Structure 1
Amino acid sequence: MVTIAQDPAADRVLSDDPFALLVGMLLDQQYPMEHAFRGPAKILERFGTLDPAAIADAEPDAFVDLCATPPAIHRYGRSMAGRVQALAKVVVDEYDGDASRIWSDVGSAPVLMKRLTALPGYGEQKAKIFTALLAKQLDVKPRGWTKASGDYAKKGYRSVADVVDADSLQKVRQFKKAKKAEAKAAQA
């Protein structure tokens, strides 16, 4: 079972629903990762479903309100609501509403990376991390995944792909903090 959210109910949602995992990764920016990955469970609790078709078809203002109501799905709950709906629309239109099809019928990591970077809110960095997450935690390892994931494929505590418990979450935090300090020192 995925344990990124550090909350049993939220982690079960992430483990049971591929779209939830995709949304959690979408929300993982400028917000503590465990809170971002709790977002899908909040949507499920408030909206009643994580069905991409229902989310894509939801009245936008009502969906924004649902996502922004405290505790919001993200620090920027209003703007992220729109991104979640845009992501749901792509999953419906291109993958018949089944988010797992993004990675389940892919033969190579370059194809997976192309699919992921085409998603709303997914740039190259996020696609690399999600590819590593799929490989390390769900055993989805398309040909070339280590090269496509770059440093995120390495052993250690580099990203959400390496979070399996509270201890690993803290180690990832420490790694990120050290990287930011290195980058800041390099700019000085």
Structure 2
Amino acid sequence: MQISMPVDAEANELLTRSPLALLIAMLLDQQVPLERAFSAPRDLVKRLGREPTAEELADFNPEQLAAVFGERPALHRFPKAMAARTQELAKLIVTDYGGEPTAIWTTASSGAELLKRIEALPGFGAQKAKIFVALLGKQLGVRPPGWREAAGQFGAEGSHLSVADIYDAESLGEVRSYKAALKAAKK
């Protein structure tokens, strides 16, 4: 299966191929347009001149990583904080999953366990964790028993609530319409 976010083909290919890149993109998907968040891993690779491993990011000099995140255009609105959070994520992957990001989901025996693991990741609150479970299930075929239930409303078939439901320009429009309606209802 192919990730199809509203970013260029090179960024989508990296997100599809690299579980670490996908986790970083999801981590960065806050307080910036989703196009920026999901392009950032590709830009990080370009700036480093290679695809980093979890081990490399975990061991990176924090000030240097913050500088890489802060190069213009910055990888996030808050480059220093998000560089630190990305490094925390990498360290957790190294210590808890042997440096293998896919182990987070390939070794989960149920949707509930998968959700618990994702909620434990730095920068992944309850809602973001549910959205990521939905993204894994809907777009990458990661479907341990109970994954839809663990994803809550985001796991519903045919929904257009989050990045988990973006496959093309039409679905992007539907997700954006849903989010605009939510904002309007809050006012």
Corresponding residue of 2:102: 100
Asked if the contact 1:157–1:171 (Cα under 8 Å) also holds between the matched residues in 2, the reply is yes
Aligned residues: 184
Take 1:73 and 1:169, find their aligned partners in 2: how far apart are those partners? Answer: 22
Asked if the contact 1:5–1:38 (Cα under 8 Å) also holds between the matched residues in 2, the reply is no
Q: Does 1:160 align with 2:176?
A: no
Corresponding residue of 1:14: 15
Cα deviation, 1:114-169, whole Å, max 9, x if unaligned, reads: 11111111111011000000000001111111111111012221100011122221
Q: Could you say what secondary structure the match of 1:121 adopts? A: coil
Question: Scaled by the length of structure 1, what TM-score is found?
Answer: 0.94
Question: Scaled by the length of structure 2, what TM-score is found?
Answer: 0.95
Take 2:96 and 2:159, find their aligned partners in 1: how far apart are those partners? Answer: 34
Corresponding residue of 1:41: 42
Take 1:170 and 1:83, find their aligned partners in 2: how far apart are those partners? Answer: 30
* Percent identity between the two aligned chains: 43
Aligned CA RMSD, in angstroms, stands at 1.0
Q: Does 1:173 align with 2:176?
A: yes
Equivalence map 1:1-188=2 (5 Å): 1-47=2-48, 48-154=50-156, 155-184=158-187
Asked if the contact 1:6–1:166 (Cα under 8 Å) also holds between the matched residues in 2, the reply is no
**Residue identity matched to 2:12:** D
Q: Which runs of 5+ in 1 are unaligned?
A: none
Q: Classify 1:24/1:101 alpha carbon distance in 2 versus 1 (closer, same or farther; 3 Å).
A: same
Take 2:88 and 2:5, find their aligned partners in 1: how far apart are those partners? Answer: 24
Q: Classify 1:134/1:30 alpha carbon distance in 2 versus 1 (closer, same or farther; 3 Å).
A: same
Q: CA deviation at 1:50?
A: 2.3
